[in-house]
Amino acid sequence: MDGSDEALVRRVAGGDEQALELLHARHATVLLRYALQLTDDRGRAEEAVQDTFVGVWQGAAARFAGESTVRTWLFGICRRQCGKHTRAVPPPTWPLAEAAQVPDSAARPEQVALARADVSAVGAALALLPDSHREVLHLAFAAELPHTEIAALLGIPVGTVKSRLFNARAALARALPVDHLTAKEAGR
């Protein structure tokens, strides 16, 4: 039997509960992480993941059109369940402003700072970032979605995904605790 995600979704649309359970086993953990990142609340995140799969069962599966991967599609449903509305995210002037800040290839302070920072410091700095930055970082590095899928999920151009990643990294580097060595190198 075809065990791909798409085949599972088709079986769910046909009323196969076991297929839903398989889909859940494959994706629930990453969805829960994403929901946690979005809601910052364990209870709400678990509820959102449950709502996602119940929604898939109650008819979303029948409407799955194969425009994205099943994982991204599930992320999209989960995102809505967390109360995020895709179209409301980017203010219209942002992409241009962000694109203007895409860096050149020269080594800059954030590279140095980040490369030396320890994991816990990154985690602490991450909490200080704006939601939109944190979300795109999470999708790119924790959920490991390709940039095209992130763009589809958030309803923004791929270029905006990239510029947002770069901006997020710069903001994160600024939020890192400054150590003397880094400060000295940055000021060099």
Partner 1 sequence: MSHPVDELPAYAAGTVPPPAAKRIADHLRGCATCRADAASWSALATGIRATTQAATPSDPPSFAAIRARLSRPVAPVYAPSGARGRSAPARVAWGLLTRQVRVIGWRVWAVAVLVIGAGASFAATASAGLAGDLLSLIVPLVAALAVAAACGADGEAAELVRATPTSTRVLVLARLTLVLSVTVAIGTAASAAVALPRGDLGLAELFVTWFGPLVPLSAISFALAVLWRPEAGVTAATAFWLLRLMAPSQIFDHSVAPVLDALWRPGPALLLAAAAVALATVVLAPLAARHSLRGALS
Distance CA 72, CA 60 (A): 14
CA separation, residue 87 to residues 35, 100, 145 (Å): 18, 22, 20
Count of residues interacting with partner 1 (CB under 8 A): 58
Does 49 sit near partner 1 (CB under 8 A)?
Answer: yes
Distance CA 163, CA 90 (A): 13
Whether the Cβ atoms of residue 150 and residue 161 lie closer than 8 Å to each other: yes
Print the binding letters for residues 103-122 with partner 1: x by CB under 8 A, - otherwise.
xxxxx--xxx-xxxx-x-xx
Select the residue interacting with partner 1 from 1, 2, 3, 58 (CB under 8 A): 58
Residue (of 113, 106, 90, 109) closest to 163 by Cα position: 90
Does 146 sit near partner 1 (CB under 8 A)?
Answer: yes
Q: Which two tokens stand for residue 29?
A: 């953990």
- Residue 5 amino acid letter: D
Q: How far is the CB of 76 from partner 1 (least distance, A)?
A: 18
Q: How far is the CB of 88 from partner 1 (least distance, A)?
A: 24
Q: Which residues bind partner 1 (CB under 8 A)?
A: 12-13, 15, 17, 20-21, 24-25, 28-29, 31-33, 36-37, 42, 46, 49-50, 53-54, 57-59, 61-62, 102-107, 110-112, 114-117, 119, 121-123, 126, 137-138, 140-142, 144-147, 162, 165-166, 169, 172
